[in-house]
């Protein structure tokens, strides 16, 4: 059984799979999220993940290997040590030199985050090309894959929760609000006005960027959305798109396949 770990700035997302001969034959065992805590030691991380195993009825001995994609550099080594404690084997960590099968055509490929690489690998395998990958997490990112599957670049904007938190923190009269869509775009109080601007505003920004990026691609693209906040936003976009919450984990699984199977 393979443990996949996506370490983001807000959450650690974990999933475990029984691997088949190809991606469609793989079987998900469990999916879970932990808060990203940069202060945790390898032992603490291992204990926390072991508790998640137990919650889902998985024995420690069942998990024989792991693959990690991390954009939190200060946690990467600790996560790798924790995974080694759990599986008895040094995990595959997505880093320069790891085979991905992805042609990265940006100015400095080493700058590309592990989450964007893994999401692109999965999108290339699962969706028609060209493809635009919308990742809604701590940051809002849209990646562009060309007709040949090459990673052409991306755009990055402040994340929805980050923007909402900054708005509340930097203004004396605006409250903290839940991230959900109001009934109408025209808000009638501070809460619904902030929710409208955040949820509907982000949805329309995504629609606009998708259209602009498609014009630059010179072709209509398939679109897939992922990330912890994607479920709150994509349903309000005018543009039709697939929603695949596990896209990054699926990409990590495919990268593992290229390197260790």
Which residues are tagged catalytic?
Answer: 115
Closest CA to 128 of 143, 147, 102: 147
- CA 118 to each of CA 101, 197, 202, 214: distance values in angstroms, whole numbers, following the listed order: 11, 31, 24, 22
Distance of CA 21 to the CA centre of its chain: 24
Cβ contacts of 180-189, under 8 Å, gap ≥ 24: 180/232, 181/232, 181/236
Two tokens, residue 38: 């940069």
**Which long-range contacts (C-beta less than 8 Å, at least 24 apart) are formed by 10-16?**
10/35, 10/36, 10/137, 10/138, 10/161, 10/228, 11/35, 11/36, 11/137, 11/228, 12/36, 12/79, 13/228, 13/248, 13/249, 14/49, 14/52, 15/246, 15/249, 16/53, 16/56, 16/58, 16/63
Enter the tokens of residue 92.
Answer: 């595959």
Which helix (H) or strand (E) segment holds residue 33: the answer is: strand 27-35
**Contact at 8 Å (CB) between 224 and 122?**
no
Residue 125 parent element (H or E):
helix 114-126
Query: d(Cα 175, Cα 182) in Å, to the nearest integer?
Result: 15
Distance CA 260, CA 197 (A): 46
């Amino acid at each position: 059984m393979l443990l996949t770990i996506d370490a983001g700035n807000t959450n650690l997302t974990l999933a475990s799979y029984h691997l088949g001969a190809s991606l469609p034959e793989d079987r998900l065992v469990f999916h879970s999220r932990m808060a990203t805590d940069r202060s945790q030691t390898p032992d603490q991380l291992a204990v926390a993940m072991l508790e998640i195993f137990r919650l889902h009825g998985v024995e420690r001995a069942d998990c024989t290997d792991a693959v990690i994609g991390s954009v939190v550099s200060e946690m990467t080594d600790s996560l790798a040590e924790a995974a080694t404690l759990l599986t008895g084997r040094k995990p595959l960590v997505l880093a320069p030199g790891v085979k991905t099968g992805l042609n990265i055509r940006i100015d400095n490929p080493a700058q590309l985050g592990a989450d964007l690489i893994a999401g692109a690998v999965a999108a290339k395998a699962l969706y028609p090309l060209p493809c635009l990958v919308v990742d809604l997490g701590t940051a809002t990112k849209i990646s562009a894959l060309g007709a040949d599957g090459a990673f052409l670049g991306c755009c990055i904007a402040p994340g929805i929760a980050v923007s909402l938190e900054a708005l509340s923190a930097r203004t004396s009269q605006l409250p903290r609000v839940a991230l959900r869509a109001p009934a109408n775009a025209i808000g009638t109080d501070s809460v619904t006005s902030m929710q409208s601007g955040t949820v509907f505003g982000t949805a329309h920004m995504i629609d606009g960027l998708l259209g602009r990026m498609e014009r630059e691609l010179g072709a209509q693209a398939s679109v897939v959305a992922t990330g912890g906040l994607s479920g709150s936003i994509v349903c309000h976009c005018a543009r039709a798109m697939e929603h695949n919450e596990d896209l990054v984990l699926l990409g990590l699984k495919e990268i593992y396949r290229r390197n260790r199977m």
